[in-house]
Amino acid sequence: MARRDLHEANRAQEPRTAVQSERVREAKRKMREVTKKRRKCLNGWERGWWKELGERMSDAAWRGDQGEMFRILNELRGAQKNKKRDGSKIVAEDNDKEREAWKEHFAKVSEDMGEVPDHVWANVTMLAEIKMWLGECPEDLELDMCVKNMNNKRRPGKDKFTTELLKYGVMS
């Protein structure tokens, strides 16, 4: 009703009477009120949607379900999928032609690494030198210290040896 009254008052060509002006003010007030309620309702729905999405993501992370996490992220990206910056959709003109172009691109990338400019290497952090002692067998003293520092009352591993057996077992 408010929108119709406002529309009728705006269509009027002659000057508004006091009654018409009052009706316009009332219609505008009702429009603001309805808009405010609508915004509140939509904000509530949006908060609920985000909360539900966050709970789904937390549950999936807790379960270690990466597939579900990926589906949720795709759901979030859904609005942006296949769109350009200006909002228009990206549509392949010829799927076969595009597929062949990608095939050629990946073939070229996989067969020929090409030359890398020197300025690229300047930004690559070098690996630390390889520690040679990592390949050597540990000494008896090191093994004794490691076993001594192990916690008791732990579940045995795949080899079925408990910490207590390693610490207090008898050498045969």
Q: If pLDDT is split at 50, 70 and 90, which confidence band does 118 have? A: confident
Distance between CA atoms of residues 69 and 47, nearest Å: 20
pLDDT given at position 77: 72
pLDDT given at position 78: 67
Enter the tokens of residue 44: 């509530």
Distance between CA atoms of residues 18 and 14, nearest Å: 13
Residues 95, 76: contact at Cβ < 8 Å? no
Domain ranges of the chain: 1-84, 132-172
Enter the tokens of residue 4: 């119709």
Go through the chain and tell me how many residues it has: 172
- Dump pLDDT digits (tens) for 33-67: 888 888 887 788 888 888 888 888 888 888 888 88
The whole model's pTM is what?
0.31
- Phi then psi dihedrals of residue 89, to 5 deg: -80, 150
Residues 149, 168: contact at Cβ < 8 Å? no
- Dump pLDDT digits (tens) for 70-104: 888 877 776 555 555 565 666 667 777 777 877 88
Residue written as token pair 């690229």: 120
